[in-house]
């Protein structure tokens, strides 16, 4: 029976991969609407023939990798569960340590190692593809170092989460999910607080913006927007990527305005100020608080659904998996599988909300800078640097895009009527 279910899962994954390949490479329409031909949103007006070809090729491959990687992770959790491998990891942990926290650490270590090994081929393939299209500039040793750091950072966070989660399952048999939800709120805010000062510096070097004239302009804009910022930071990303980016991260006193050095090197001051105005728009529109509220609501629903589905699944199949009850650590792959599927299912909604907020931030940037030309050139440069499709397929947009498509962003800016102009 187990072999039959495993075979079904593998066949389903292969068929899904074939279907997504056919959709992305043959069926999806990524052409520009006839009405927009020759406009600033038409990539043919700002990309040469080779860049157009590379953009289509790279985007299709990256999108396919995305749709293959997510269910590949589900397949891993499912197979490690039904074949009893998770139960073996728990048996090793129970035979090694007496204390529950230490048993959790040992079990999670083996599960994390197995996950890292299984997911590594896809991760390495993604890295080599980015290198071949000159998006990534990172040498293998540096890339591998980032992967190892990410492994231990994820392991440390998961150890806290798993230890607390299973302790709650044992204490609150039926309402553990509610207690987990309550604790997830301060934990998430705490992680947002320490991210800029403890976690991000593990991967890259951050330092105050060297161009003090540009920093003064950005801080002047921040003052107009009533944003309490004293410094602007730049981060050394040119040794890892040719892509461009800028963002605001953290909460409270640990908030940071950050610019990639690639952005500083390739964009004009006017374009950088437009990006900064966009980021400030998120602050002014209070998107971070809306995001926290949405996260709290989705986490509540997600944990409730996970508890119901997990309990029913383990009760029905637990014996076959050698998982006696839901409070066993060996049930963790079931928890991770269910939450991952629910997050993927919710992504069209969360991405839609995010795209709406990004459009609002773009509008704010136009109103603040009164520089539509800088906005258009910024998004054209981002398209070129990241080899991004201007008009991606519909499924890609709803499942991957937390920002409007470049077609939508450039068109909106180009057609926006500034009052008084």
Is residue 280 within 8 Å of 221, Cβ to Cβ? yes
Q: Among residues 362, 373, 408, 415, which one is catalytic?
A: 362
Longest dimension (CA), the chain: 75
> In 3-state terms, the chain is what percent helix, strand and coil (to 5)?
75, 5, 20
The beta-carbon contacts of 198-205 under 8 Å, at least 24 apart in sequence, are 199/153, 200/249, 202/149, 202/153, 203/146, 203/149, 204/235, 204/236, 204/237, 204/240, 205/235, 205/236
Distance CA 368, CA 350 (A): 27
Q: How confident is the model at residue 130 (pLDDT cuts 50, 70, 90)?
A: very high
Q: Is 215 considered catalytic here?
A: no
Residue whose entry in the numeric block shows the structure tokens 């040719």: 242
Task: Write down how long the chain is.
Answer: 421
Mean pLDDT of the chain: 92
pLDDT at res. 140:
96
CA 232 from centre of chain: 24
Angle at 114 between CA 112 and CA 115, to 5 degrees: 65
Nearest to 148 by CA among 116, 101, 192: 116
Q: For 182, list phi and psi in degrees, rounded to 5.
A: -60, -45
What is the tens place of the pLDDT at every residue in 398-415? 999 999 999 999 999 999
* Burial bucket for residue 353 (CB in 10 Å: 0-12, 13-18, 19+): middle
Summarize pLDDT for 312-341 with one digit per residue, the tens. 999 888 888 888 889 999 999 999 999 999
Catalytic residue among 261, 279, 371, 408: 279
Q: How many CA atoms lie within 13 A of 129 on its CB side?
A: 20
Digit-coded pLDDT (tens) for 18-76: 999 999 999 999 999 999 999 999 999 999 999 999 999 999 999 999 999 999 999 99
What H or E segment, with its residue span, contains residue 319? Answer: helix 287-321
**How many whole angstroms from its chain centre is CA 292?**
16
Q: Confidence class of residue 98 from pLDDT cuts 50, 70 and 90?
A: confident
Is 279 a residue of the active site? yes
Q: How confident is the model at residue 286 (pLDDT cuts 50, 70, 90)?
A: confident
DSSP alpha helix (H) spans, 23-139? 49-82, 85-96, 100-132
Q: Which residue has the higher pLDDT, 4 or 13?
A: 13
Q: Point out the least confidently predicted range of 102-111, 183-192, 242-251, 372-381.
A: 242-251
- Mean pLDDT, residues 251-271: 86
Domain edges within the chain = 2-203+286-415
Question: How confident is the model at residue 284, as a pLDDT?
Answer: 87
Q: Which DSSP state fits 402?
A: S
The answer to the question of whether 278 is labelled as a binding residue is yes
CB 379 within 8 A of CB 410: yes
Q: Which of 233, 197, 235, 199 is nearest to 214 (CA)?
A: 233
Could you give the CA distance from residue 383 to residue 30 in angstroms, rounded to a whole number?
15
**How far apart are alpha carbons 333 and 331 in whole angstroms?**
6
Question: How do residues 197-227 score in pLDDT, each as one tens digit?
Answer: 899 999 999 988 888 899 899 888 888 887 7
Strand-strand pairing, 206-208 and 246-249: unpaired
pLDDT computed for residue 419 by the predictor: 66
260 DSSP β-pair partners: 235
pLDDT at 420 over 60: no
Is 90 exceeded by the pLDDT of residue 89? yes
Cα angle: 291, vertex 296, 300; to 5 degrees: 145
């Amino acid at each position: 029976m187990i072999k039959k279910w495993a075979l079904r899962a593998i066949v389903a994954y292969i068929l899904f991969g074939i279907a997504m390949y056919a959709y992305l490479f043959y069926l999806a329409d990524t052409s520009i609407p006839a009405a927009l031909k020759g406009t600033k949103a038409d990539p043919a007006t700002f990309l040469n023939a080779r860049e157009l070809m590379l953009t289509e090729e790279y985007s299709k491959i990256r999108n396919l990798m995305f749709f293959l990687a997510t269910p590949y992770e589900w397949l891993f959790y499912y197979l490690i569960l039904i074949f009893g491998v998770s139960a073996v990891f728990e048996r090793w942990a129970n035979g090694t340590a007496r204390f529950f926290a230490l048993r959790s650490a040992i079990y999670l270590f083996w599960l994390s190692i197995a996950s890292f090994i299984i997911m590594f081929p896809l991760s390495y393939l993604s890295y080599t593809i980015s290198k071949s299209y000159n998006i990534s500039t990172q040498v293998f040793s540096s890339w591998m170092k980032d992967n190892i750091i990410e492994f231990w950072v994820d392991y440390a966070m998961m150890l806290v989460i798993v230890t607390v989660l299973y302790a709650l399952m044992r204490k609150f048999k039926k309402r553990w999910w509610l207690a987990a939800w309550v604790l997830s709120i301060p934990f998430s805010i705490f992680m947002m607080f320490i991210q800029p000062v403890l976690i991000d510096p593990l991967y890259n070097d951050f330092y105050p913006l060297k161009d003090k004239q540009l920093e003064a302009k950005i801080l002047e804009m921040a003052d107009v927007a009533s944003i309490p910022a004293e410094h602007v930071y730049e981060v050394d990303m040119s040794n890892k990527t040719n892509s461009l980016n800028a963002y605001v991260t953290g909460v409270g006193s640990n908030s940071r305005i950050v610019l990639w050095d690639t952005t500083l090197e390739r964009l004009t001051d006017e374009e950088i100020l437009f990006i900064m105005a966009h980021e400030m728009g998120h602050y002014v529109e209070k998107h971070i608080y809306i995001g926290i509220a949405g996260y709290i609501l989705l986490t509540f629903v997600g944990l409730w659904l996970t508890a119901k589905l997990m309990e029913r699944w383990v009760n029905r199949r637990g014996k076959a998996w050698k998982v006696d009850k839901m409070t066993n650590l060996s049930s963790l792959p079931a928890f991770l599988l269910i939450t991952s599927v629910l997050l993927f299912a919710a992504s069209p909604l969360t991405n839609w909300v995010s795209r709406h907020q990004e459009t609002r931030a773009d509008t704010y940037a136009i109103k603040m800078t009164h520089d539509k030309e800088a906005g258009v050139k910024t998004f054209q440069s981002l398209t070129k640097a990241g080899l991004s499709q201007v008009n991606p397929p519909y499924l890609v947009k709803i499942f991957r895009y937390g920002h409007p498509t470049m077609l939508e962003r450039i068109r909106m800016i180009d057609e926006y009527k500034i009052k008084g102009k």
